[in-house]
Amino acid sequence: MAKKENIVEEKIKEIAQEVYDTIHLKEKPELESPIRSLNNVSYNEQEGFFKILGKTKVRTLTANTIKTFAQTLRMMALSKDLVSDNEIATKREAYYLSKNWGEARFKEQPESDSVMDDIEAMMGVNREQIGFIPGEKGGAVAGELTVIDVDSESKEKLEIDCTKFGSGAYAIPSSVEHLKFKTKAKFVLAIETAGMFERLNKHKYWRTANCIIIAMSGVPTRATRRFMRKLADENKLQVYVFTDGDPYGFFSIYRTLKVGSGNAAHINQYFCVPNARFIGVTPQDIIDYKLPTHPLKEVDFKKIKDVLKNDPFCKHHKEWQKALKQMAQMKVRVEQQAFSAHSLNFVIDEYLPNKLKNSKTWLP
Amino acid sequence: MAKRSAEELAKNQREISIAEFFEKNRHLLGFDNPRRSLLTTIKEAVDNALDACEEARILPEIQVELIQLSETRFRVIIEDNGPGIIKKQIPKIFAKLLYGSKFHKLSATRGQQGIGISAAVLYGQLTTGKPASITSKTGKGKLAEFVKLKINTSTNNPVLSDEKEVEWEEKDHGTRIEIDMEAAYLKGRQSVDEYIKQTAIVNPHCTIIYTDPSANQIIFPRATEDLPPEAVEIKPHPYGIELGRLIKMIEMTAAKTLQQFLMTEFVRVSSKVSKEICENSALLPKTKPKKITRDLAENLYKGIKKTKIMAPPTDCISPIGADLLERGLRKEINAEFYCSTTRPASVYRGNPFVVEAAMAYGGEQPADKTVRVMRFANRVPLLYQQGACGITKSIQTTAWKSYGLQQSRSALPVGPCSIVLHVTSVWVPFTSEEKSALAHYDELMKEMRLALQECGRKLASFVNKKKRLKDEVKKRSYIEKYIPHVAEGLKEIMNFDEIKKREIEDYLSEILEHTRGEIEEIKVDNPDYDPEFAAIGKEVVEKPKEEEKNEDKEENEEESNDDDSVPKEEKQTTLG
């Protein structure tokens, strides 16, 4: 680890030196970073994730870019200090630190997040490696899993049994690289909503099905994705994904978990779970299980159209194209909790066992 | 009720003298209040003096003096170096309404009707009961004629007294008039001071020595030794004539035939054109004018309209000139930008006229007020009736938004700008006898708008340039704001010292400056500006003192807000 941090420090110095030298030549300095968007990634099933392509954007110092240019340099300076002091700052903290920069301070956090992402991509490393951690809450875990962590003060080994949180759950920390696992579970079930997680946890579904359940609460954080990736890699566990039946569940949550995103294109390699499979709720399930629905909203139709046109993952998988078109035709979406229309535990007793048995009803 | 016979009623029917008429309707001549009456009197006397000097080809030097006799009573003295007036004419010129030399001819003079100065004499007489005193000398070595004049209002005839010959050493020739009258003297945009100043602006060949009621003497020296070209008299153009006037001209003419009449009494009527007119009127060219009845005259009138006649000559009017107009404006207003234009001559109702415009933009002028409008007709400033004037209307109906001024629908534009419009013509169409507002003739309005648009286009390019520069300056200050942060970021990463940091900042400024080029500066650069001149006529406001007082008052009010019973002495000590 320590070696890697040095690399970050060196890289920052290198970039600064280049800028410095260019200025001395009385030329406009430039900062180059990879473009972070879906049109700069490729997908093939063998690799299993959105691989970044070579497109870069060059930010030349001009009247229009000088503010962001200055902010990028100052953020890099902050990152260098964090790394060399072995310190960390949350994205929110970094935003507040910028308030000391006078005119160069950020007005809103999205501005500082975006600059941070650029630096991360420029370095080709993960955000944690440049000293920044997300502020958002990680996923919740319950089930047949023992997480082996280290006490930050005593440096002693800690064994955390995820079956012993009662009605609560283990929270995935922001950095998971150092974690080790012991498990006899057969698979991992990643769930979109905390509500569904609660129901499965209450009835100890993880015991019945001998699995680990993880609540993602929307798009999974990087740490949550990395946590599942480690489980898949190190413990050879299959990851199944269970979301609401809507374009957001399919392509913001599932797709990002499985193959990564355009925005974080430079780190998809580490933050993807290529073996993840989508078990539901599929558009076909709506028909098969006679589920109560809501009409699709304008944004949903827009998202479907956009995904069909631009998403390399969707373009690769005919099944997904079919599913999306089917949904657009049905003009409805469905929530995970819709199964309670049949009975509160229908999802545990009928839906999940049925789906898990029948891989033909899954989507790739 | 008993019926009255026509005979009985006839006892009350009698002729109304023009003097009686104006005695009752003095507002029609610009004598509606004491302040304005003072201005009108001076204006009429100065107009006459300038006209007389120019006609006699003398460089005018005019003295105007105001003496305050009591709170509401003033003595107005105007003296010129004109040719003087022969003894016989003095009473009629000064004490008979509608007596003059300019009414019956068409030339670009200030005076027109021969009413103004006698109306001033009448006004003085009405408000003080005193006669006006006239002194006039017609040549070197001669004695001057002195006379006191009143007007018999029932007959509109002069009443003379104290007639005598006097020595007038200082002058070879000239005329002096003294009138006592009820008046009010105030500063401001409609003041005597402003009038005299504006007169000096548009009459750069004239020296004016002005003594105000506080005995302050201001001298406006002439800026050029060149008299404007003589106002050339032209005959009327057939298109400009009205039927009544035509009939009168036919009655008065000495011509033997209709064709001859048309050719001698009008401009632009050749024998060919005159025959065409006759043809179009179904009249024989050889018809004797005496034989033309009213009906035939109407035929002739219609025939004229049907005939194509060349526009009147325009060399009979002489504009001030765009340059001189602009120079006058530069003296008065300290602005960033000036422009001016003189339009080619044009014609309304057979009368040739020329429109000139000048504008001053920026500098010390307030940006949130409507523009200042200065109106002139035949070199005479128009200070009253701005709203009713065609000049104002032409400014209002010009679209100023595209020229960089704000404007709400059909209103005067808002912005740091002054607009000067001068109309000169052989016959300026005023809306009334007080001669303060121009009539809205289409041709006039069109020419004024064209002049304004011409200036407006120049203005727009300046305003746009100014805006671009402002944006550029803003952008540069934006760049300058962030250069230190770029350097600071590098400094923090590379751990170099302040000297190196400053070096980086300098290099960055250079790099960015290089790509953006030199910046042009806009500032007020007007060596012609004369602050003392500009201050003439302005209402005196002792600003700093006033503000101090206000501040003190406010403080005081805060302290003693709810205590009205604080004794005066105490308040004063707080003030001190």
What is the amino acid identity at position B79?
E
ipTM of model over 0.90: no
Nearest to B105 by CA among B199, B226, B230, B229: B230
Mark A313-322 as b/e (b = at least 16 C-beta within 10 Å): bbeebeebee
Both B346 and B242 in one domain: the answer is: no
Q: Is B518 exposed, middle or buried (0-12, 13-18, 19+ CB in 10 A)?
A: exposed
B488 touches A: beta carbon within 8 Å: yes
**Min CA distance, A191 vs chain B (Å)?**
43
First to last CA, chain B: 77
B86 touches A: beta carbon within 8 Å: no
Distance CA A20, CA A52 (A): 29
Nearest to A240 by CA among A276, A274, A208: A276
Both B344 and B207 in one domain: the answer is: no
Residue pairs between chains A and B whose CB atoms are closer than 8 Å: 78
Total number of domains constituting chain B: 4
**pLDDT, tens only, B152-204:** 888 888 899 889 999 998 889 999 999 999 999 998 888 999 999 899 888 88
Decide if B511 and A24 are in contact by the 8 Å CB cutoff. Answer: no
B514 touches A: beta carbon within 8 Å: yes
Per-residue pLDDT, B526: 74
Smallest CA–CA distance from A62 into chain B, residue: B512
Nearest to B375 by CA among B393, B362, B363, B361: B393
Residues B256-261, mean pLDDT to the nearest whole number: 92
What is the amino acid identity at position A79?
S
Q: Which residues of A touch B475 (CB under 8 A)?
A: 63
Both B404 and B282 in one domain: the answer is: no
**Min CA distance, A78 vs chain B (Å)?**
8
Number of residues written out for chain A:
364
Nearest to B241 by CA among B232, B230, B228, B250: B250
B513 touches A: beta carbon within 8 Å: no
Both B156 and B71 in one domain: the answer is: yes
Per-residue pLDDT, B345: 84
SS (H, E, C) A99-121: HHHHHHCCCCHHHHHHHHHHHHH
Tokens for A146, please give them: 């023992």
Q: Is A136 exposed, middle or buried (0-12, 13-18, 19+ CB in 10 A)?
A: middle
Helix, strand counts (H, E) of chain B: 17, 14
CA angle, B67 then B187 then B109, to 5°: 80
Q: Which residues of B touch A28 (CB under 8 A)?
A: 511, 515
Cis preceding-peptide flag for A281 (omega within 30 of 0): yes
Look up the CATH number of the domain holding residue B481.
3.30.230.10
Q: Which residues of B touch A26 (CB under 8 A)?
A: 507, 510-511, 514
Kindly state whether residue B177 falls inside one of the protein's structural domains.
Answer: yes
Residue B6: Cβ within 10 Å count: 7
Decide if A23 and B494 are in contact by the 8 Å CB cutoff. Answer: no
Kindly state whether residue B1 falls inside one of the protein's structural domains.
Answer: no
Q: Which of A19, A63, A101 lies closest to B490 in CB terms?
A: A19
Q: Which residues of B touch A119 (CB under 8 A)?
A: none
Both B476 and B524 in one domain: the answer is: yes
**Min CA distance, A265 vs chain B (Å)?**
26
- H or E segment at A255? helix A255-259
Nearest to A276 by CA among A341, A200, A216, A345: A216
Catalytically annotated residue among A20, A96, A170, A289: A96
Q: Is A236 exposed, middle or buried (0-12, 13-18, 19+ CB in 10 A)?
A: exposed
- The answer to which of A184-188, A262-266, A339-343, B355-359 has the lowest mean pLDDT is A262-266
**Is the pLDDT reported for residue A108 higher than 80?**
yes
Both B254 and B360 in one domain: the answer is: no
Nearest to B109 by CA among B401, B378, B400: B378
**Is the pLDDT reported for residue B551 higher than 70?**
no
A21 touches B: beta carbon within 8 Å: no
Both B403 and B451 in one domain: the answer is: yes
Domain ranges of chain A: 2-133, 140-361
Smallest CA–CA distance from A69 into chain B, residue: B486
Contact A348, A260 (CB under 8 A): no
Per-residue pLDDT, B371: 94
- The CATH number, out of the four listed (3.30.70.3040, 3.30.428.10, 3.40.1360.10, 3.40.640.10), of the domain defined by the range A140-361: 3.40.1360.10
**pLDDT, tens only, B482-501:** 889 999 999 988 888 888 88
A61 touches B: beta carbon within 8 Å: yes
What's the pTM? 0.64
**Average pLDDT across chain A, whole number:** 89
Kindly state whether residue B5 falls inside one of the protein's structural domains.
Answer: no
Residues B349-378, mean pLDDT to the nearest whole number: 90
A153 touches B: beta carbon within 8 Å: no
**Min CA distance, A2 vs chain B (Å)?**
19
Q: Which residues of B touch A71 (CB under 8 A)?
A: 485
Residues B311-317, mean pLDDT to the nearest whole number: 79
Decide if B504 and A17 are in contact by the 8 Å CB cutoff. Answer: no
A99 touches B: beta carbon within 8 Å: no
CA angle, B478 then B479 then B482, to 5°: 90
Smallest CA–CA distance from A11 into chain B, residue: B493
Distance CA B144, CA B230 (A): 27
Per-residue pLDDT, B539: 65
CA neighbours closer than 13 Å in the CB half-sphere of residue B379: 28
Distance CA B66, CA B94 (A): 19
**Is the pLDDT reported for residue B222 higher than 60?**
yes
Residues B229-250, mean pLDDT to the nearest whole number: 83
Per-residue pLDDT, B552: 41
Q: How confident is the model at residue B544 (pLDDT cuts 50, 70, 90)?
A: very low
Smallest CA–CA distance from A75 into chain B, residue: B489
Q: How confident is the model at residue B243 (pLDDT cuts 50, 70, 90)?
A: confident
Both B568 and B423 in one domain: the answer is: no
Both B202 and B54 in one domain: the answer is: yes
Per-residue pLDDT, A189: 94
Best A74, A79, A105, A118 residue to mutate vs chain B (most B CBs within 10 Å): A74
- The answer to which of A242-256, A320-334, B37-51, B425-439 has the lowest mean pLDDT is B425-439
Q: Which of B478, B488, B494 lies closest to A74 in CB terms?
A: B488
Decide if B510 and A20 are in contact by the 8 Å CB cutoff. Answer: no
Residues A156-165, mean pLDDT to the nearest whole number: 92
Q: Is A275 exposed, middle or buried (0-12, 13-18, 19+ CB in 10 A)?
A: middle
Per-residue pLDDT, B566: 37
**Min CA distance, A244 vs chain B (Å)?**
46
Mark A42-68 as b/e (b = at least 16 C-beta within 10 Å): ebeeeebbbbbeeeeeebebeeebbbb
B502 touches A: beta carbon within 8 Å: no
Nearest to B67 by CA among B55, B77, B56: B77
Q: Is the dihedral of CA B300, B301, B305, B311 positive or negative?
A: positive
**Is the pLDDT reported for residue B559 higher than 50?**
no
**Is the pLDDT reported for residue B417 higher than 70?**
yes
**Min CA distance, B495 vs chain A (Å)?**
10
- The answer to which of A186-195, A202-211, B420-429, B558-567 has the lowest mean pLDDT is B558-567
Decide if A69 and B510 are in contact by the 8 Å CB cutoff. Answer: no
**pLDDT, tens only, A38-84:** 888 888 888 888 888 888 888 888 888 888 999 999 999 999 888 88
Per-residue pLDDT, A96: 92
Rounded (10°) angle between helices B442-494 and A2-24:
130
Both B430 and B451 in one domain: the answer is: yes
**H helices of B174-226, where?**
192-202
Contact B55, B101 (CB under 8 A): no
Per-residue pLDDT, B262: 92
Share of chain B above pLDDT 90, in %: 38
Per-residue pLDDT, B563: 39
Q: Which residues of A touch B478 (CB under 8 A)?
A: 63, 66-67
CA neighbours closer than 13 Å in the CB half-sphere of residue B113: 18
Q: How confident is the model at residue A161 (pLDDT cuts 50, 70, 90)?
A: very high
Q: Which of B475, B508, B515 lies closest to A23 in CB terms?
A: B508
Per-residue pLDDT, B534: 79
CA angle, B372 then B377 then B379, to 5°: 95
Domain that holds residue B566: 543-575
Kindly state whether residue B498 falls inside one of the protein's structural domains.
Answer: yes
**Is the pLDDT reported for residue B562 higher than 50?**
no
**pLDDT, tens only, A232-253:** 999 999 999 999 999 999 999 9
Distance CA B399, CA A38 (A): 51
A333 touches B: beta carbon within 8 Å: no
**Min CA distance, A327 vs chain B (Å)?**
50
- The answer to which of A183-187, B101-105, B401-405, B539-543 has the lowest mean pLDDT is B539-543
Kindly state whether residue B313 falls inside one of the protein's structural domains.
Answer: no
Kindly state whether residue B164 falls inside one of the protein's structural domains.
Answer: yes
Query: Is the model more confident about A7 or about B526?
Result: A7
Helix, strand counts (H, E) of chain A: 15, 17
Per-residue pLDDT, A248: 93
Nearest to B357 by CA among B472, B454, B261, B290: B454
Residues A303-331, mean pLDDT to the nearest whole number: 92
* 3-state class (DSSP) for residue B42: helix
Decide if A16 and B482 are in contact by the 8 Å CB cutoff. Answer: no
Decide if B483 and A63 are in contact by the 8 Å CB cutoff. Answer: no
Both B472 and B329 in one domain: the answer is: yes
- The CATH number, out of the four listed (1.20.1630.10, 1.10.287.110, 3.40.50.620, 1.10.10.10), of the domain defined by the range A2-133: 1.10.10.10
Phi, psi of B25 (to 5 degrees): -120, 50
Distance CA B202, CA B323 (A): 11
- The answer to which of A118-132, B47-61, B141-155, B342-356 has the lowest mean pLDDT is A118-132
**Is the pLDDT reported for residue A133 higher than 50?**
yes
Q: Which residues of A touch B476 (CB under 8 A)?
A: 63
A62 touches B: beta carbon within 8 Å: yes
* DSSP state string for A260-313: --STTGGGTTTS--TT-EEEE--HHHHHHTT---EEPPHHHHHHHHHHHHH-HH
Per-residue pLDDT, B520: 67
Both B201 and B284 in one domain: the answer is: no
**pLDDT, tens only, B427-464:** 888 887 778 899 998 889 999 999 999 999 999 999 99
- Active-site residue, A96 included: yes
Distance CA B227, CA B460 (A): 35
Q: Which residues of A touch B482 (CB under 8 A)?
A: 66-67, 69-70, 103-104
**pLDDT, tens only, B62-121:** 999 999 999 999 999 999 999 998 898 888 888 877 666 666 566 667 766 667 888 899
Q: How confident is the model at residue A117 (pLDDT cuts 50, 70, 90)?
A: confident
Decide if B488 and A66 are in contact by the 8 Å CB cutoff. Answer: no
**pLDDT, tens only, B81-91:** 999 988 988 88
Share of chain B above pLDDT 70, in %: 89
Residues A151-157, mean pLDDT to the nearest whole number: 87
Decide if B514 and A62 are in contact by the 8 Å CB cutoff. Answer: no
Per-residue pLDDT, A181: 93
**pLDDT, tens only, B368-395:** 999 999 999 988 999 888 888 999 999 9
A101 touches B: beta carbon within 8 Å: yes
Distance CA B17, CA B28 (A): 16
**Is the pLDDT reported for residue B513 higher than 80?**
no
Q: Is B137 exposed, middle or buried (0-12, 13-18, 19+ CB in 10 A)?
A: buried
* DSSP state string for A336-351: GGGGGGT-TTHIIIII
What is the amino acid identity at position B490?
L
B477 touches A: beta carbon within 8 Å: no
Per-residue pLDDT, B555: 39
Decide if A63 and B516 are in contact by the 8 Å CB cutoff. Answer: yes
